[in-house]
């Protein structure tokens, strides 16, 4: 059988990012454009500093258009040099030469493949993080609204899969919100300060950049090139909206490790939300439901199913990104001034982590904005244990009358009996000789009201909402 000729990755096995803004932002064409933007920005900056003719910089910028490149051919040609920058520079030079043969001499001046590719990856990350941060603003706003609306809506807290004590759905939503705010703040700092341009030349000494400066600007020699080599990376960073590095980071891969870690923590936070939604939407729980949409959550075999599709997509990303970040942590062990294989192993994991995190963030915004909450079912589920969910409170209250040890023993004994007999805990306690004449069944039922035992849930919700109000733009809330 002849294999199909269309080889573009459309996300057939990655529905979490397929069709989302992150898909376009991390496509092969977007990756190529980021590297071309790096080349064009370098030429413009060099022109401003006087080492490249202004006309040449203009021609390079005009030629640096990804749509004029054959992606499939470029990828195959990359095999010969073990990186895509070499054939990219060759074709870019040809395109510039067609406009102005003299300008072609200014393409890639003083640069090296790693400068272009690393800067391109940072640009790709910056552009994708901008999308992610916008989606996190949406998610935070939706979760804040849920937390405020359900600040006092009682539900069962669950530990190790079982009912523990009462809580509120507002507090659960606030917990989700806190994780999103943490991830948002972390990614925001990274976007502003942690995505540096790469500018080192052939082996990290900046020698090529300096030599061309000495050729075109002899006055550069007066201070040994110090001023020029200080201005060049600063100007390139400003041109591209990236951070300025202290020194070249060809083998100090902290920026990529930091990026990967932040993406893993983000997908972990979003995966936690998705996991909760998945569990709470089980038939046995029925407390929340994903937003309905045509064709969403359907089963190929069971017509009645309404599967938590959005949650499944988000969780799929949360499971994958940490493994990709593990690869980035391994490649941080970089030898010499450019390693063989370690550098090359970074590119795809970075792209995959960005697109998975971007897809998860976009999906989480949709999930949070449309989440359907069944407060009545939450209250009904609180009654499933017939008062046992509030046994902790009763043990504390009865300790005043009986002493702590006796009260705890009494409530534990009564709880076991109530569970066995399938009756309310208040009825068993009212029959116990230790409480004879002390409390009626009605009084005990009142003390066992789940809504009256949610602790500081409301205050904790307010704390998170206050933080959200400080950090998330008002237009998003």
Average pLDDT over residues 204-218: 94
Hey, do 21-117+206-240 and 120-197+254-381+457-476 end up sharing a CATH topology, with the first three levels equal?
no
Residue 52 DSSP label: S
Half-sphere exposure of 257 (CA within 13 A, CB side): 14
Residues 248, 198: Cα–Cα separation, whole Å: 6
pLDDT above 70 coverage of the chain, percent: 95
Identify the CA nearest to 377 among candidates 284, 246, 299.
284
Q: Given a cut of 80, is residue 341 above it in pLDDT?
A: yes
Domain boundaries, the chain: 21-117+206-240, 120-197+254-381+457-476, 388-447
Residues 80, 77: Cα–Cα separation, whole Å: 6
Q: Dihedral of CA 440/444/445/446: which sign?
A: positive
CATH class of the 21-117+206-240 domain in this structure: mainly alpha
Q: Given a cut of 80, is residue 182 above it in pLDDT?
A: yes
Residues 388, 304: Cα–Cα separation, whole Å: 34
**Quick check: helix, strand or coil at residue 165?**
strand
CATH number belonging to the domain at 120-197+254-381+457-476, selected among 3.40.630.30, 1.10.10.10, 3.40.50.150, 1.20.200.10: 1.20.200.10
Cβ-based neighbour number of residue 290 at 10 Å:
23
Average pLDDT over residues 5-18: 79
Mean pLDDT lowest among 75-89, 292-306, 364-378 = 292-306
pLDDT on residue 180: 99
Cβ-based neighbour number of residue 94 at 10 Å:
12
Catalytic residues: 299, 338
Mean pLDDT lowest among 246-260, 400-414, 453-467 = 400-414
Identify the CA nearest to 347 among candidates 23, 138, 125.
125
**What 3 state SS string does 245-310 have?**
CCCCCCCCCHHHHHHHHHHHHHHHHHHHHHHHHHHHCCCCCCCEECCCCCCCCCCCCCCCCCCCHH
Mean pLDDT score across all residues of the chain: 93
Identify the CA nearest to 360 among candidates 236, 239, 266.
266
Half-sphere exposure of 145 (CA within 13 A, CB side): 15
Tokens 């809506």 locate to 153
Which helix (H) or strand (E) covers residue 113, if one does? helix 113-149
Band of the pLDDT at 439, cuts 50, 70, 90? confident
Identify the CA nearest to 287 among candidates 371, 370, 367, 378.
378
- Determine contact, residues 46/52, Cβ cutoff 8 Å: yes
């Amino acid at each position: 059988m002849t294999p199909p000729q269309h080889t573009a990755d459309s996300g057939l096995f990655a529905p979490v990012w397929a069709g989302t803004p992150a898909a376009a932002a991390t496509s092969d064409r977007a990756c190529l454009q980021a590297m071309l933007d790096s080349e064009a920005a370098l030429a413009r900056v060099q022109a401003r500093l006087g080492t490249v003719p202004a006309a040449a910089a203009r021609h390079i910028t005009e030629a640096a258009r990804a749509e004029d490149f054959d992606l499939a051919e470029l990828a195959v040609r990359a095999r010969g040099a073990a990186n895509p920058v070499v054939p990219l520079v060759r074709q870019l030079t040809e395109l510039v030469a067609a406009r102005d043969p003299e300008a072609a001499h200014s393409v890639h001046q003083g640069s090296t493949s790693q400068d272009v590719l690393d800067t391109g990856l940072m640009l790709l990350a910056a552009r994708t993080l901008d999308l992610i941060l916008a989606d996190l603003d949406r998610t935070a706003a939706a979760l804040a609204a849920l937390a405020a609306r359900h600040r006092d809506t009682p539900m069962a807290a669950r530990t190790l899969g079982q009912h523990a004590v009462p809580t509120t759905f507002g507090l659960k939503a606030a917990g989700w919100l806190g994780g999103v705010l943490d991830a948002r703040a972390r990614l925001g700092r990274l976007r502003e300060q942690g995505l540096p341009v790469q500018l080192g030349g052939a082996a990290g000494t900046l020698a090529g950049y300096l030599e061309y400066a000495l050729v075109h600007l002899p006055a550069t020699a007066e201070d040994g090139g110090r001023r020029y080599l200080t201005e060049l990376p600063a100007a390139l960073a400003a041109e591209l909206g990236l951070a300025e590095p202290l020194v070249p980071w060809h083998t100090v891969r902290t920026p990529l490790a930091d990026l990967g870690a932040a993406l893993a923590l983000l997908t972990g936070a979003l995966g936690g939300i998705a996991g909760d939604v998945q569990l709470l939407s089980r038939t046995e729980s029925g407390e929340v439901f994903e937003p309905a949409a045509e064709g969403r959550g359907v089963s190929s075999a069971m017509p009645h199913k309404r599967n938590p599709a959005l949650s499944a997509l988000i969780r799929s990303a949360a499971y994958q990104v940490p493994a990709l970040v593990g690869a980035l942590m391994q490649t941080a062990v970089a030898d010499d001034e450019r390693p063989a294989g370690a550098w090359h192993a970074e590119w795809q994991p970075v792209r995959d982590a960005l697109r998975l995190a971007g897809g998860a963030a976009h999906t989480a915004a949709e999930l949070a904005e449309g989440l359907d909450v069944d407060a009545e079912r939450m209250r009904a589920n609180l009654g499933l244990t017939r008062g046992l969910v509030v046994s902790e409170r009763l043990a504390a209250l009865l300790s005043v009358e009986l002493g702590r040890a006796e009260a705890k023993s009494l409530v534990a004994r009564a709880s076991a009996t109530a569970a066995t007999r399938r009756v309310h805990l208040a009825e068993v306690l009212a029959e116990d000789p230790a409480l004879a004449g002390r409390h009626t069944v009605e009084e005990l039922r009142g003390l066992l009201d789940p809504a009256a035992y949610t602790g500081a849930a409301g205050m904790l919700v307010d704390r998170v909402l206050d933080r959200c109000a400080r950090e998330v733009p008002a237009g998003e809330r």
